[in-house]
Amino acid sequence: MDFTQSEEPNVEKPIIIAAMQDMGNVGSIVVNFINESLKTKTFRIAKTPFPTYVVDKGGYIELPDESWEYKFTDDLIVFGGGKGQPQSNNELNALCQDVIDVAKKYSAKFIYTLGGFHTNEILEKSPKTYITTTSREITKQMEGLDIETTPQKSIITGFNGLILGFAKKNAIQGIGMYGELNEPEIPQYRAAISIIKTLEKLTYRKFGDTSRLEMMAQEIERKFKN
């Protein structure tokens, strides 16, 4: 994994939001939304040195853009979004460690990650967001905020789970937020909206008007009903 830094962000003890594409594209939808809404600025890029696949365009191939950006604004660092995740464990581990190194460099005290929570229960149009944290103490604090914790034991794979493990190993507090969804193969905009609202509640920050995401959710529903 190659890392290139273009500037030093003007942040002081920022919170970090870090998530990559996962089930229902939830991680990417939220990260991309925050970056667009807050007009964040890129300061660092992570890129895979070798392609893990090629895209056949119908008679010719193109190389994928397997890179992910670190962006910043107002004591906030946002990492990830985009398309895909590293295909090898070594690259995934290197990426998680780099996020931790960036957190330490700028004295970040808290990392939020997010993604999808697959359930077979039929959902209405207001999916829940479940949280899990890096310590029992943080979880107890969440209990007074009317925020539900993940309902059963499970294994969280990929960047959006593993980054919490790296945070815990490095004594950085973290919360994972996972929005309910039924169809992992379809972009889940309402799960993303639920996570954004939960994130606003926990950080006391506004991340923008989610009405556009609601419109995209309705468009997806119309498309798949037809």
The string of pLDDT tens digits covering residues 73-127 is: 999 999 998 888 887 889 999 999 999 999 999 999 899 999 999 988 888 788 9
CA distance 175 to 160: 10
CA distance 86 to 32: 18
Query: Taking residues 25-49, what's their average pLDDT?
Result: 95
Split at pLDDT 50, 70, 90, the class of 143 is confident
Give the pLDDT confidence of 160-211 residue by residue, as tens digits.
Answer: 999 999 999 999 999 999 999 998 999 999 999 999 999 999 999 999 999 9
pLDDT at 146: 83
The percentage of residues in the chain with a pLDDT greater than 70, rounded to a whole number, is 99
Residue with the bigger pLDDT between 3 and 149: it is 3
Q: Indicate the pTM of the whole model.
A: 0.91
pLDDT at 84: 82
Amino acid letter, residue 181: L
The domain spans of the chain are 2-225
- Classify domain 2-225 at the CATH superfamily level: PAC-like subunit (3.40.50.10900)
**End-to-end CA separation in angstroms for the chain:** 42
Give the pLDDT confidence of 8-22 residue by residue, as tens digits.
Answer: 999 999 999 999 998
pLDDT at 102: 97
pLDDT at 82: 80
pLDDT at 66: 85
Q: Which of 137, 34, 121, 136 is nearest to 77 (CA)?
A: 34
